[in-house]
Structures are given as structure tokens and as C-alpha cells.
Amino acid sequence: MTQTVAAAMAALEAHRVEISQHRIADFFAADPDRFARHHITLDDLLFDYSKHRITDATLAHLLSLARAAGVEEHRERLFAGDLVNNTENRPALHMALRSFSGEAMQLDGEDACAQARAERARVFAFAEELRQGVICGATGRAFTDVVNIGIGGSDLGPAMAARALSPFGKPGLRMHFVANVDGADLADTMTDLDPARTLFIICSKTFTTQETMANARAARAMVVAALGEGAVADHFAAVSTRNDLVAAFGVRPERTFCMWDWVGGRYSIWSSIGLSLAIFIGPEHFEDFLRGGHDVDRHFQDAPLQDNIPALMALLGVWYRNIWGCQSHAVIPYDQRLARFPAYLQQLDMESNGKSVTRTGEKAMFETAPVIWGEPGSNGQHAFFQMLHQGTDVIPVDFLVAAKPTSAAAGQHDLLVANCLAQSEALMRGRSLAQAREALLAQGLDARAAAALAPHKTFPGDRPSSTFLYRALTPRQLGRLIALYEHKVFVQSVVWNINPFDQWGVELGKELCNRLAPMVSQRTAPLDELDGSTAGLIGWRRSLQG
């Protein structure tokens, strides 16, 4: 298969040379039906991929690459519960957390979907009772604030989704998210909070995550200082696989919620890790969120590759990463509430596919994950869009925009949508030197001034983008967007022959931190075994401490 994939990549490289003299705008000029042929809908969500450097021949080559890599076979293995996470000998069954098909996903003789439904019922019951004021703090007053303590997937998912779905949140209930081991994160969060009316949710699969447990212990100390040791059980809940450690911390069994090894951290928003989100938006909306993910699971399973949104997202990404040499990819949501969505996708994409070793431990044949980054539009237009339009690097862009706002003046949202569409058109069309000169002459500049300024007003254009347009940012729509990117990442991992479900790259830093922590905290600890830079930095820090 490796030779077949290499041949398919070589064919794509030859094809790139063939079409490199043609511009995206030329494709539109030659084909009035280009948009009609190059978009896909999933209910009210439209994926427009017409503004890409592709022809029908390009798509044929990309589909050949997908089949050479075995994308369809690997997709079947994923949904069948095979051990696709080969380095940890586990399946990746996050789809079971959002399944409404009634079909079982078997794991060691048990139905993972049934396990997920049972735990979801516990989460929903707890969330509803807290929302209704049945579950209260130690003083008998209802909770007004919920602090989620986690890191990585245990923080990014709930924090992103809570902000995105804030119009669906319970009035008077405030959500907070603490992740950084920097004590300022928790301290700043607690500044205006009353411990007597605050619930802390500790999210850690192993209940040993260094940063999370440091914050959890600090939060516990705050509760004890304000309310006494006996209040701990009333003010903490936990999501973990280690019930013994959770109990030792002081969390009651009925407030301890399960995770499973077959749920990776960056795929865990669908699980009990979403407890804070379920509390905030309520069980009904959380179920809609899950159904959005399920919509995409069915689409990804059933749609042929040429009509499959995540498959095409992935293949276009491979086209730019491996054939055109694009090293980064921007995600620009024209929605302020999706401000954390690019950061969420950074972990999903870069922790999954940021690998240089194949499934079998050999050096990867191709460049893998690009740098994923972005900010909301239109803010980005006044920051980094300069580079997108006139920089030396070509950076593919994903634009996301809703047709209708969840809460905004209609005219203001019209302006937001117009900005989104204008940016994608400008990136594609550009402005030639002659066009720039003509525009300056029309503004009244003389010929010499126009000739001098025109190069600065030239835009190369021919810069690709996809646009996701949907009715509104609802819980179901957010679920769809997340699942689309999840499956995109999976398809790319298949093409690159890497395991997207492990993350060994974070281990070395943890090990070295555990080794260095005593040397940092104990000012007389010897530094002889350290490299010169690390020893010098610790020594300088000691001198700064006085």
C-alpha cells in the first residue's frame, strides 16, 4: 500500500505542475456551474469548496489517493471498534457517546453505546437537579457558579462549547474554566466568586494530571478555609476513571462520573467531561449537541468519498500540505462566540496528527499536521489578514458563518456576513498590478505616483478557502462542526499512515518536569547533572528570589 500511496502522491505532484498556471478565478470564468458542482449540504449546513485550486482531475487524483491509502477500509475499522489506537491497544469509540442509531458498538463483549447512555442519564439527572436548585452547597443555597478544573481536552472542549452556546445557558448560572497550573488562573477566577455558592468539577481521566490536581488541591483549600472540611463533599464533583483517588479527595460516589479508556481526551466533550456544559445549557440542549455529532457520523459512514464533507476537507488539506507545501491552515469563524474554536481545533488536529512516525514505528513518508490557528472575523481582518492577502506564504482558510444570528441586530449581522464573503472573494480574486494602477489613476493620482504606489496595492490572489454556511449556531450545529473536523483529522491520519489517537509527544516534558520540580522548589538542591542552560536559568531564578 505504501508504494501505491507514493505513486498517488507523485501523480498529484505532476498534476500540480499541469494546473499551476491556471488561477481559481479562471476556473469560475470557464465554468458558470462551478459552485453548484463544488458544494455539499448536510441538512442546513453548506460546505463550499469551489474556491480551491482544483479541477475535476484534481478531485479524481485525490480520491485515488484516498483509496490507495485505504480510507474506506479504515473508516469501517473505526466504527467497528477495532484497535485503531495501536500503540495503546485501544479502539477509539467516541462516536458511541453520541450514537442514536440503536446499533451496538461492541467492546470486550459489552455495548459501548449502552454504557454511554447509562452514564449520560446520571450526568443529565445531576445537571437538572443542580439547575433546579435541588442540589445545593453546604449552606443550603443554590449554586450560582460552576468552575471546571481540567486541562487539554478536559478544558478546551467544555470552555469552547460553553462560550459558543452561551445564548442557551441558564440565566444566573455562570461558568468558569481553570486549566493553567499558574496559580493566577484559579485566583483570578475566584476573585468575585462566593465559595458557598460555587461547585468545582475536577476533570482528569487518571486523577493524577499534574496541572489539574494542583488546581484541584488549591480549590479544595479555598473551600475548607471558607466553609470547613465537611463542606468539601458538597462543593466538588469529578469525572475520572479512578474512583479510588476521587473518593480519597472527598468526592461522593453519586457525584463521580465515569470516563473510559476508549475515549481520548481531545474527543471527550461528548462524554461526562461535558458535565459543565450539560449543567449550563441543560440536558435537552446537550442532547441536541450530541445529535449534531451523530448526524456527521452517519454522513461520514454513508456518503461516498466524493460527496463526503470530512473526507473532502481532509483531502484538500493533504493537497495543500503535501503537494503545494503549505505549512499552516487558518480557521476563521465569523462569530465571536466561536472565539475558542480555533484553539480547540489546534489540539484536535496537532495533537492527533503532529507525528513523524508511522503506525509501525517508521519515519513518516510525508509532512503531517499543518499549524492550525485563527481568530474570529472580523477582528482578524485588522490583525493578520494582511499576511493572508499579501504575505509570501499561501495559507488555506476555513471560513465559518451563520445565516442568522442567535442574538444580534439583523443589520449588524448582515455586515458580518458581507465581511466574511468579501474576504474569501478577495483572497481568491486578488488585484493585479494593472488593476491597482488603474484604480489609483481613477482616484486622481498622477501617472508617476500611481506607478509607485500600485505594487503596494497589488494582491496576488489565488489563495484558497472553504466556507461553512449554516442557519444558526445552535447546539446541534456546533456538534456537527466539531465532528466534521474530527473525521477530517482521521482521514488525514490514514493518508499519512499515522496513529491519531495517541499523544506520546507530551510525555517527555512531563517526565523532565517531575525531575526538575524538586530542584526548582529546593534552593539548595544540586544542579550538577543538568545542562548548562537549565542549570543557569534555575540559578538565575534563585538569585531573583533574593
Average pLDDT over residues 202-227: 96
Query: Is the distance from CB of 336 to CB of 350 less than 8 angstroms?
Result: no
Query: Is the distance from CB of 201 to CB of 212 less than 8 angstroms?
Result: no
CA–CA dist 431, 450 (Å, integer): 15
Query: Is the distance from CB of 236 to CB of 199 less than 8 angstroms?
Result: yes
What pLDDT sits at residue 254? 96
Beta sheet of 236-240, edge-to-edge order: 174-178, 145-149, 198-203, 236-240, 256-258
CA–CA dist 467, 487 (Å, integer): 17
Q: What percent of the chain has pLDDT over 90?
A: 94
Query: Is the distance from CB of 327 to CB of 340 less than 8 angstroms?
Result: no
3-state secondary structure at position 136: strand
DSSP 473: -
Q: Which helix (H) or strand (E) holds 345?
A: helix 341-346
CA–CA dist 451, 443 (Å, integer): 13
Top-confidence residue, 173 or 106: 173
Strand 198-203 relative to strand 236-240, pairing: parallel
3-state secondary structure at position 480: helix
What pLDDT sits at residue 109? 84
All cell numbers assigned to 226 = 471558607
For residue range 153-174, what is the model confidence (pLDDT) as tens digits?
A: 999 999 999 999 999 999 999 9
Average pLDDT over residues 437-464: 96
Average pLDDT over residues 5-10: 96
How many other C-beta atoms can be found within 10 angstroms of the C-beta atom of residue 116?
25
Q: How far is CA 81 from CA 111, 112, 262, 469, 495, in A?
A: 10, 9, 9, 32, 20
Q: Is 70 exceeded by the pLDDT of residue 1?
A: no
Residue 202: φ, ψ to 5° = -95, 120
Contacts with 32 (C-beta within 8 Å, 6 or more apart), sequence order: none
Residue 328: φ, ψ to 5° = -140, 165
Q: Is 90 exceeded by the pLDDT of residue 325?
A: yes
In the predicted model, what is the mean pLDDT of the chain? 96
How many other C-beta atoms can be found within 10 angstroms of the C-beta atom of residue 7?
13
Q: Is 70 exceeded by the pLDDT of residue 270?
A: yes
- Looking at residue 95, its amino acid is M
The catalytic site residues sit at: 351, 382, 510
Q: In whole angstroms, what separates CA 403 from the centre of its chain? A: 22
What pLDDT sits at residue 411? 85
Contacts with 410 (C-beta within 8 Å, 6 or more apart), sequence order: none
Q: Is 70 exceeded by the pLDDT of residue 265?
A: yes
Strand 397-402 relative to strand 328-333, pairing: parallel
Point out which residues pair with 145 in neighbouring strands: 174, 198
Rg (CA), the chain: 26
Q: What is the pTM of this model?
A: 0.96
CA–CA dist 393, 462 (Å, integer): 12
3-state secondary structure at position 234: helix
Q: Is 90 exceeded by the pLDDT of residue 107?
A: no
What pLDDT sits at residue 434? 96
